[in-house]
Amino acid sequence: MKIKALEPIKHHPHYLSAGDEITVDDETGQYLVDNGWCENLETGEIGEREGGPVDLEIDKSTLGVTDTAGG
């Protein structure tokens, strides 16, 4: 499958910059296209990226540190 990287990709053994066009095996190509990282140049297919902005809630925590040195 011939693909075009839509963004920088580090998927061993492929390290691509945005716009790079390479030929890969069908399984790898479909994985990269399905995740929205590449365009299938043979069909024009581009997968949809999952997710979006994520809100992280961080609870304030206090660590109790004590000194138990005896003497």
> What pairs with residue 4 in β-bridges?
21, 39
In whole angstroms, what is the distance from residue 25 CA to residue 31 CA? Answer: 10
pLDDT digits (tens, 9 = 90+) for 1-37: 999 999 999 988 889 999 999 999 999 999 999 999 9
Euclidean distance between CA atoms 22 and 63, whole angstroms:
52
Best CA proximity match to 17, nearest among 41, 38, 42: 38
- Could you give the 3-state DSSP secondary structure of residue 28? helix
Pick the more confident residue, 49 or 18: 18
